[in-house]
Amino acid sequence: MRYAAGIDNGTQSTKVLIYDCEKRRVAAAASSPHRMHSRNDGTREQEAQWWIDALKACFGSIDPKMLGRVEAIGVSGQQHGFVPVDNEGEVLIPVKLWCDTSTDAQARQLTEAFGGEERLLQEAGNLMLTGYTAPKIRWFKDHHPKLYQRMRWIMLPHDYLNWVLTRRAWMECGDASGTGLLSVRDRCWHDEAVRVLDSGRDLASCLPPLIESHEIGAYVCAEAAELFGIPEGIPVSSGGGDNMMSAIGSGVVTAGKLAISMGTSGTLYGYSDSPVIDEGKRLAAFCSSTGGWLPLLCTMNCTVATELYRSMLELNVKEFDALGASAPAGAQGILTLPFFNGERTPNLPRGKGCLVGMTASNVTRENISRSALESAVFGLKLGLEACEENGFQADSAVITGGGAKSPIWRQITADILGIPVTLSAYEETAALGAALQAVWAVSCAREGYVPIADVCISHDPAYDAVKHIPDASVRELYDAHYGEYKRYIEALTPLFT
């Protein structure tokens, strides 16, 4: 195989990456931005047509000769988005995104109807959180009953792009486990969870069939070939959620290594050979898109606080980082609770951003800036702590995302988490992972099953030489500061519920 294409449909943009399988490098890449509908009730939506337009723009900016030699495609997509599609392939409403918190009431109703959070964890392995897909489906039924009756397919963002490429509908367990409807232990739809959504309609018929992560889903149709300038009939792999694909692109396909993504949201996750069900309700018990499991923590606010504070202080990114770097570790006691978009972990969809720990002597621009950098990592530490409590031991982490560009933020991450942190050489690990999954699917189709680790080792996604080692001199200080972070959350939680 010469070229494989990886598509990543994110919140802010769609990206296309062309991977040269022979030279084992990224040969071309393109990106096109998205808009978002935002309202004060927590609504965060996009039009599905914007994604198609963005995908067309990305393919259109890549050399047509190179596109003509693409032999397989993989698709990564932002998780949890709800794309209801009718028999004709029309998307019935604007897509409610992962960060949409307007479905809080539906999440509570579904949880109660199932028998509570404890039973959900016991039976399905995951909760029906506000950001997940299941409450969005119920919201659709409640707010658009006539359109709801027209729904033929329940799709996630990457499923919809797979459908655009092939006119076939399917799902795989990684992204499907973020719907709230999958039994993650058994890797199949949970019948009762589906019935709770609508006791009067068989929604199981609206869920696409599940396929294995290493399988080819379908092949590029003539319409998509003409629209995007890609070869007709080339295979499209199962695809997956952006975190699952980023795990592949970061080489996190065997136990021991973590991936951390610092974007608008913050994620921390690692590969496991068995399900990791966190009774503390911090980790999502997701499946991976490689046939295993991917215990994952997601915070809805990572770079949000730094961007808001930076704007308030009228600083560019380098100036803000320098300001934060000039403050001492621990920001002299100041903490940011960065729940500006509500929060998923901890589960506070009605949460608000808070600046706490201020005294007459510590309120400085430097300390406030550093508190934003540190507090985002304290949110991620909730996930590392949960992993360790559930028997998952991490020895290192690969870091990606916009926040990973900041050297001071990378060092703070290593110091607070207490493990070495390495910067990924590839910024777009989700798109790279999608391309490598496509390579894997084709290899399995041609040769029989091949472990994904063999593919990743063979193609060796390189890592930057920049590595950050934890500073032992600040470990005790950060442990104490993290304890204060958790105490403030506990104290303020009643105000956010």
Mean pLDDT value of segment 455-464: 70
Which residue in the block uniquely carries the two structure tokens 């992962």?
98
The domains of the chain are located at 3-243, 251-427+462-497
Specify whether 242 is catalytic. Answer: yes
pLDDT over threshold 60, residue 463: no
| Confidence label for 264 from pLDDT (cuts 50, 70 and 90) | confident
Contact between 11 and 99 under an 8 Å Cβ cutoff? The reply is yes
pLDDT over threshold 80, residue 461: no
Tell me what pLDDT residue 462 has.
Answer: 52
Q: Nearest CA to 95 among 145, 160, 33?
A: 160
Name the residue type at position 236: V
Which member of 8, 159, 175, 242 is catalytic?
242
Domain 3-243 falls under CATH 3.30.420.40: yes
Tell me what pLDDT residue 304 has.
Answer: 94
Tell me what pLDDT residue 157 has.
Answer: 98
pLDDT over threshold 60, residue 219: yes
Residue 350 burial (CB < 10 Å; 0-12/13-18/19+)?
Answer: middle
- Mean pLDDT value across the chain: 95
389 sits in which H/E element:
helix 365-389
Which residue in the block uniquely carries the two structure tokens 């996630």?
156
Mean pLDDT value of segment 79-97: 97
pLDDT in tens, 31-58: 999 999 999 999 999 999 999 999 999 9
Mean pLDDT value of segment 306-334: 97
Mean pLDDT value of segment 227-253: 96
| Confidence label for 465 from pLDDT (cuts 50, 70 and 90) | low
Residue 118 burial (CB < 10 Å; 0-12/13-18/19+)?
Answer: exposed
**Fold matches, 3-243 and 251-427+462-497:** yes
pLDDT in tens, 356-384: 999 999 999 999 999 999 999 999 999 99
Tell me what pLDDT residue 362 has.
Answer: 98
Calculate what percentage of the chain has a pLDDT beyond 70.
99
| Confidence label for 393 from pLDDT (cuts 50, 70 and 90) | confident
Tell me what pLDDT residue 222 has.
Answer: 98
CATH class of 251-427+462-497: alpha beta
Q: Give DSSP secondary structure letters for 149-193.
A: HH--EEE-HHHHHHHHHHS---EEHHHHTTTT-EETTTTEE-HHH
